[in-house]
Structures are given as C-alpha cells and as structure tokens.
Structure 1
Amino acid sequence: MGVGADSRAATRADRRSGLSQQRKCVGPVLRKTCFVVCGATVGFVLLLGVSLLYLPDPYKAEQFVPEENRVVTLLIWTHPFGQYRKLPNCSALYQIGGCTLTDDGRVYSQADAVIIHHRDVATGHGDLPSEPRPLEQKWIWMNYESPTHTPRLGRFEGVYNLTMTYRADSDIFLPYGYLVPRGSRTEGLHDRFAHSLRSPSLRRLLRPRLVAWVISNWSESHARVALYHQLSRYIRVDVFGRAGRPLPEDSGGSVVRLVGRYQFYLALENSQHTDYITEKLWNAVRAGAVPVVLGPSRQNYERFLPPEAFIHVDDFPTVRGLARYLLMLRRHPARLRRHLDWRGSYSLHQPAFWAEHYCTACRAVRKTRDRTYSVQDLTRWFHS
C-alpha cells in the first residue's frame, strides 16, 4: 500500500484532493487550476454515468425476450468460506426472473452455469467438478480478495468461462459499493436497497471524536500498519476490532454506527490493486465520516467517488502533513464541509454478500448464453 506542515502542505493537499472548487475557480490567475479541478469533477460524473450503464442492475426488466426462453439453472458449487447461507429468490428480491439457484451437486449435468468461489478450491476446501463439463455450460470464477491474497491462480488458466469480481473489467462486475445519482432513472430502480446520503448539518459536522480505525487482520508487514504507527505519533487514532478494542456495546456491533461518532475513518486496504476498494470505504461513506484512504491511486478512487469525497494519503508528502490537515479541518468546520457537501446528490448501494452476487451472475448467464470461451491469462489479468 502506498503511504501517504505548514500552510503550503495544506494548500497542496487541497489542490490534489480537488477541494474548494468554487474558491479555485475565482479570478483569472487560478483559471488553470479551475480547469483541472472542474475537469476532474466532470470526468467523475461522466464516468459514473457510463459505469452505471454497466453495473449489474438487479431491478431492470428484461425486455423483448420471452421469459420462458431465458430460464437458466445456476449451480453454487461451494458456499464461500464453507459458510452455508440460504439461497435467495432472485425474482422476489431483485426482480430477476428465469433463474433457478441450487447448491445440489447432483444437478451438475443439467446446470447452465457453475459459480465457483476461488478461495475454497484454491485452498483445498473444495474441488473442481470432476465430471466432464456439459456442452455450453459456463464456469464462473468468483473472487473478492485482492491479488495479494489470491493464491494458486496458475492452476486455473483456461478453466473458467466468465470472471466475477470487484474489478470493473470483469465479465460480471459487482463492486463492494457504488453511488447512485439522486433523481436519475437508475435511482428509482435501487430505492429498495440504497441508503440515502445527506449533507451534514452543523451539529453533525461537530462530532465528538476525531479518527477511528477498525481492523481485524493486523500484520506489521502491511503498509497500513506502518501508516498507523506514524499517524498515531501526531494525532489520536482509536483502534477497534480483533486487533484493537472491542466495538462498544452501545454500537450494537455495527461498524457504521461506531464510525458515525467520528469525523474521519481510516479506510486502509490490506494491499494496493486496481479497483480493490472494499466495504471499509463504503462504511465510512454511509456513516457520514470522511474516509482517509490507502489503496489504489487517487485516480482509481475517483472512478467511484467525487474527488472531494475522500482524503488520499498520497496527497501528502509526509504523514505529519496528513495529521496536520485533519486537525486543521477539525478546527475549521466550513472547510470540513467541503468534503461532505457532495453527499446530497447521491444514494449508496452496497450489494449483499452473497445473495446479490448469485442473482447478478445468473442474470449475466442469461445474457451470454450464446457465448462460450475460456478465460486465458487469468493470473496476468488479475494482477494487472
């Protein structure tokens, strides 16, 4: 993970974060800066609009194709991490008709597709189907771990027909979370599961605590742990989870409820990879805290969020500069508000594991029934 002070450092951070757009666009001297910032914002909006065309929309009705001709059977080969969960009714939950989900291996020969969770077959907790693959049956590679924590990829070159991950260039793309613009046609389709985001009132800006971090997998080799050690030298960071204090009882075990008491949340990924932006970020967004992110590049985050919606550690030449910036925002609520005002324009959708994944995969299989090819160079693609 890439770890990212005087007033010049704070100003430089503002410029890189795309903050204070109105201030930067005033006056001919700053027109170049305005062009860059406004261009980044427009780019985000355009990219978000295009991305929403490709995000799996479980509420969009299939048109012009008789439902009886689109029925498919999707076999769940192994329940992820060996944890059994009742299979969803895709029609009732997501208005995706024509899908039959089953975890009964005896129907293997009749299944149109088989969804296989990588971790289970890679670690020996499950095996690939041993029977010959039926003609036109698709095998789906499903994985939501980062490449760093995805072992033995080389064993599966040329095995699968479709990929399903958090990466935007997957055959079946379903990220850990995404924003839905308010007032758009798409928003109405997501009302049932989306969380409305609101711009904060002054009272909500003045939260009693500064920075929280919830972490379960502590490793001194992780860049996020090194960042924490440095940052905690300058400001207080309250650490919770398996590697810190238990979540308070009055939070009900909810990370979102806990983070709602803090102004900032450390959304630090365990490794840096393309599009690997997990629930850590989206929990902070849902809680109304400003996420301080450590993961892929700022440009990658801006594919999913407005540039002012987060603080990237790489925006600062030193961790001390980051700490000073956070303290400055705490003293100046008007500047802190610039990181949060965007919220009034969006809702947040966080897909449910694993029900929505199965139904999304089934819907994709229905759309690709005539496509049969094998995924080559799985390792090179996923590590790219």
Structure 2
Amino acid sequence: YMYIYIYNFFRGLLACDLTPDHHPKKIEHSAVTILIWTHPFGRFRKLPDCYVRYQIGGCTLTDDRRAYTQADALIIHHREVATGTDELPPEPRPCAQKWIWMNYESPAHTARLGYFEGVFNLTMSYRTDSDIFLPYGYLIPRERAPLRGPTRSHLLRPRLVAWVISNWSESHARVAFYYQLRRYIQVDVFGRAGRPLPEDSGGGSVVRLVGRYLFYLALENSQHTDYITEKLWNAVLAGAVPVVLGPSRQNYERFLPPEAFIHVDDFPTVRALARYLLMLRRNPARLRRHLTWRGGYSVHQPAFWVEHYCTACRAVSRTRGRTGVVKDLTRWFHS
C-alpha cells in the first residue's frame, strides 16, 4: 500500500523522526543553519530545538534576518510574499544558499504563483512529489500504540454525522453537498456556520467532539492532488468513519486502506450515500468492516510548524552542495 511507502519514505529520506522515543540514536549529518524568513500567517512562534524534539543534530534555526548571509537555506512561506505583506530576500543570494518554497494551502487558495518561477530551489508541501514532503497526517504500521479497534459501544454511538467547518462559502462544492445530504439525514454542524465548538477549540476538542459520532464529514474546501488535510485525520483519531470529498478515491488510498473511508464519489447520488450511512447504523457488522483495519496502525499528525522546520533542516543537510532551481512552479502545483 502507498501509505506504507509514505511511512518508509519519511523514515529513510526527507522527513524528521516522529518522536525521540521512536529513534533514540542521534542522526549524524552535517550542520546547517536555516533562516525562517517568514513566519506563516504572521504568527511568531518559538523555534524548536530539532535535536531535543526529533534527535536531529547539527540544526540551527533562526528568524534573525541578520543571519541571511550565513544561512544555508531560507524557508519562505508563500502567503506572505504573495500578498505583499513581506518581500523576498535581497539578491544576489549567498553562494549555494537554498530557498525553500513552503505552502500548505490548496492551489485554489494559492495566488500569484507565476511571480515566483525560477526563484526557489526546493518545494515543501503536502504533495507527495514535493522536494520535501510532509503531509497533514499519515499512518504508521504496527506501532506500539495502535488505534483502538471497534468495540460494541463504538459501533453503537448514538449520534450519526458531524461536520466542523470554519470557512463557509456558498461557492464551495462541500457546501452544495451538505445542502443535499441534510435533505435525507441529520447532520450536526459545528463551527462558525453551526453550533459553537467546546471552549478548547484546538484539534483535541474536535477529536473529542467527533468521538461521539459514527461518521464525520471530512470535506475539503477544494479538490486537488494530495490535498487531504487534518479533517480526515481528526476523524480517524476520533474513531469515526470519514466521509470524504476531495481528490479521487485512488488519491486517498495513497494514505489509507480502501475500507478506512467512504468517498462521496462511490455513490451515484447523495441520496444513495445517505441510505448507505443509515444502513451501516442499523448493521454494526457491516460498519465494523470500515473500522477493523485500525488495529494495525497509529496516526501521526506533524506539529505545525515545528516539525516542518526540522524536516527542512534535515533535507538541506542531506542535499548540501546541490542547488537546482524549481521550474514551472505553477504548472507543477496545479497538476
């Protein structure tokens, strides 16, 4: 399965180790300095110690722009330079310095890509074909603390379908889908467009909330290759079966077993999908088929943006001396 490949890819190539407990031995590589040129969305965060967090030695992270001439690489978050709230670093850049384009928005919400053709040396995103690949989440096969398998109480959860949404737009396909689905079954909506979330509105509270439901609508704001966000992984952690709208089923199967989710495209109509969900509620044996896979995996959700910086540091260390240029950034990201 592709998701096993993804896990091995992280361990052996670009991604940083998941926790110090997973890999207690220090990773030897050459020391590098990474300058965080733009803090994502203008939110300043304390920079991590990559050795303490992920056992990656020789990694110095800084956001002090006075280190520009000494930095081996710069991480530049797309949103800030695209909107004009910040500018690209001055040219000419230091010899062999890498500029890393980092972006975790979908192409539909990534403006002005054409302004940055031939500017960057590495890409970092959720796409599997990025130079530095780190998705919103992934499965880890047969770890010491696998996901909890289905229990009787799990299969008999009293609430049917939940949806948490903060960015409501009538132009989104997911909103049109919701309007159709609610004609046939009850959907409990939370967030700005529905009921308020618990006071602790972080990911943990969403998981606890979704844990009361059999199904969760993991509906992306746009449909693009590999654009599978925390919505899916929150559902998996909560033990709810995700009903997904995003890229194709084949794309989702890069990250999950085929029975781990229900894709809206599997049904000829929204009404047929609603009937299937109601059937599963009445038939726990059939519902169990969507959940039994869980015993063989645990889930890892990278910490934004701590793990991303350390992942980039490791990648730069392993590619020292090689400085290519990202050509056709727009065509690649929209492909």
Q: What TM-score, normalized to structure 2? A: 0.94
1:178 has 2:174 as partner: no
Give the secondary-structure state (helix, strand or coil) at the position aligned to 1:141: strand
Q: Which amino acid aligns with 2:260?
A: A
Map 1:1-384 to 2 at 5 A.
Answer: 44=1, 47-55=2-10, 56-58=15-17, 67=29, 70-182=30-142, 187=143, 196-249=146-199, 254-384=205-335
Residue by residue over 1:132-176, the C-alpha shift from the partner in whole angstroms, topping out at 9 and shown as x without a partner, is: 200000000000000000000000000000000000000000000
- Greater shift in the superposed pair: 54-63 or 119-128: 54-63
Take 1:91 and 1:243, find their aligned partners in 2: how far apart are those partners?
A: 42
Specify the structure having the higher radius of gyration (Cα): 1
CA distance in 1, matches of 2:200, 2:118: 50
Give 1 or 2: higher helix fraction.
1
Moved over 3 A (4+): 59-63, 248-253
Deviations 1:246-270 (A, max 9, x none): 0145988711010000000000000
CA distance in 2, matches of 1:131, 1:149: 28
Which range moves more in the overlay, 221-230 or 253-262? Answer: 253-262
How far did 1:86 drift?
Answer: 0.3
In structure 2, the partner of 1:15 is none
Q: 1:251 to 1:366 in 2, by over 3 A?
A: closer
Residue 20 of structure 1 is matched in structure 2 by none
- Give the paired residue count: 325
Quote the Cα distance in structure 2 between the aligned partners of 1:371 and 1:246.
50
Letter of the aligned partner of 1:83 in structure 2? R
Q: Is the 8 A contact 2:16 2:310 kept in 1?
A: no
Is the CA contact (8 Å cut-off) linking 2:119 and 2:325 kept in structure 1?
yes
Query: Is the contact made by 2:242 and 2:262 (CA closer than 8 Å) also made in structure 1?
Result: yes
Conserved? CA contact 1:276–1:296, under 8 Å: yes
Cα separation, 2, equivalents of 1:341 and 1:307: 12
How much is the aligned-residue C-alpha RMSD, in angstroms? 1.6
| Structure 1 contact 178–348 (Cα < 8 Å) conserved | yes
Gaps of 5+ in 2: none
Rounded Cα–Cα distance in structure 2 between residues aligned with 1:250 and 1:204 = 24
Give distance in 2, aligned partners of 1:139 and 1:152.
18
Tell me, in whole angstroms, the C-alpha distance in 2 between the residues paired with 1:49 and 1:271.
26
Q: TM-score, normalised by structure 1?
A: 0.82
Q: 1:244 to 1:206 in 2, by over 3 A?
A: same
Report deviation, 1:200: 1.5
What one-letter code is carried by the residue in structure 2 that aligns with 1:58? D
Q: Which runs of 5 or more residues in structure 1 are unaligned?
A: 1-43
**AA in 2 matched with 1:225:** V
